């Protein structure tokens, strides 16, 4: 049986192969300028991670019929009618798990960083408020997870200046690269209890095509992320309705 790390490497390779294939198809269709943007918007690129996580969920005893991806992934919101998640587990009329799996490659790290972080924070606030107001679930507190893959390159690793026209930013952000900013973001959304767990991966394109990746933070590894997910699903998801 393959190890978790081997499956994770396969998911990383799938990401880069899919992205490369999408870029080729766009070039053939005369839309080569959209290649970089597809790395932000192309959901299919993260399907390797979704497949891996779905497999972990099934191993706990949850039926595949209770796992939703690409369809029926809307949850009610409080500040908006609905929000689409990347993966849901819904069993016996209750939300067990909701997952976001996102990525970013260069060159436009700045604007996309703001968009990604605002999206993730907004989604969490919206769904937790809806949960508090009784939009779903009566006995189960759902598990929220955030997985992020960032291109490992000079631009993502270079120091970035901050603008401080009126007030000082928190010191950890001074000259922090986008890789460092994403690491801080993933850590803070867990510590502030917006998400139950987060995983942060870095991957350089050429090595990534063969599954190469790194995990720069010990508290944001995929292994810890998976353990948190599995332990929650094993308690709630595998229980049969009486």
Three-state secondary structure readout of 158-197:
CCCCCCCCCCCCCHHHCCCCHHHHHHHHHHHHHHCCCCCE
pLDDT at 170: 97
pTM over cut 0.85: yes
Q: What angle, 0 to 180 degrees and rounded to 10, lies between the N-to-C axes of helices 47-59 and 4-28?
A: 150
Write out pLDDT tens, residues 102-156: 999 988 898 899 999 999 999 999 999 999 999 999 999 999 999 999 999 999 9
Residue 33 and residue 23 in contact, taking contact as beta carbons nearer than 8 Å: no
Distance CA 38, CA 32 (A): 10
Is 133 exposed, middle or buried (CB count within 10 Å of its CB: 0-12, 13-18, 19+)? Answer: exposed
What single-letter DSSP state applies at residue 153?
S
pLDDT over 60 at 41, yes or no: no
- Structure-block tokens of residue 154: 């000079």
* Number of other residues whose CB lies within 10 A of the CB of residue 136: 16
Q: What is the CA radius of gyration of the chain?
A: 18
- Sequence-ordered strand ranges (E) for the chain: 67-68, 74-76, 82-84, 87-91, 94-104, 143-151, 197-203
Strand partners, 98: 88, 144
pLDDT over 90 at 234, yes or no: yes
pLDDT at 40: 47
pLDDT over 70 at 27, yes or no: no
| Residue 34's pLDDT band (cuts 50, 70, 90) | low
Q: What is the mean pLDDT of the chain?
A: 91
pLDDT over 70 at 241, yes or no: no
Distance CA 124, CA 38 (A): 24
- Residues 203-220: what's their mean pLDDT? 97
- Residues 185-194: what's their mean pLDDT? 98
pLDDT at 239: 59
pLDDT at 31: 60
Residues in the chain: 242
Distance CA 67, CA 97 (A): 9
- Structure-block tokens of residue 43: 């959901």
- Residues 165-187: what's their mean pLDDT? 97
Distance of CA 150 to the CA centre of its chain: 11
């Amino acid at each position: 049986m393959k190890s978790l790390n081997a499956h994770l490497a396969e998911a990383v390779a799938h990401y880069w192969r899919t992205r490369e294939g999408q870029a080729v198809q766009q070039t053939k269709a005369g839309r080569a300028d959209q290649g970089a943007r597809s790395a932000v918007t192309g959901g299919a690129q993260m399907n390797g991670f979704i497949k891996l996580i779905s497999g972990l969920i099934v191993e706990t005893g949850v039926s595949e019929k209770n796992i939703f991806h690409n369809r029926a992934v809307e949850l009610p919101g409080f500040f908006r009618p609905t929000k689409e998640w990347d993966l849901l587990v819904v069993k016996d009329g209750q939300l067990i798990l909701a997952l976001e799996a996102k990525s970013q490659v260069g060159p436009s790290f700045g604007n996309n960083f703001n968009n990604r972080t605002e999206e993730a924070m907004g989604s969490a606030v919206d769904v937790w408020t809806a949960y508090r107001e009784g939009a779903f679930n009566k006995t189960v507190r759902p598990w929220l997870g955030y997985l992020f893959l960032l291109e490992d390159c000079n631009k993502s690793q270079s120091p970035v200046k901050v603008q401080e026209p009126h007030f000082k930013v928190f010191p950890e952000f001074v000259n922090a690269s986008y890789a460092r900013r994403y690491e801080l973001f993933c850590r803070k959304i867990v510590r502030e209890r917006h998400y139950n767990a987060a995983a942060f991966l870095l991957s350089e394109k050429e090595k990534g095509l063969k599954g190469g990746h790194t995990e720069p933070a010990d508290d944001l590894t995929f292994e810890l992320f998976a353990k948190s997910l599995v332990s929650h699903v094993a308690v709630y998801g595998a229980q049969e309705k009486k």
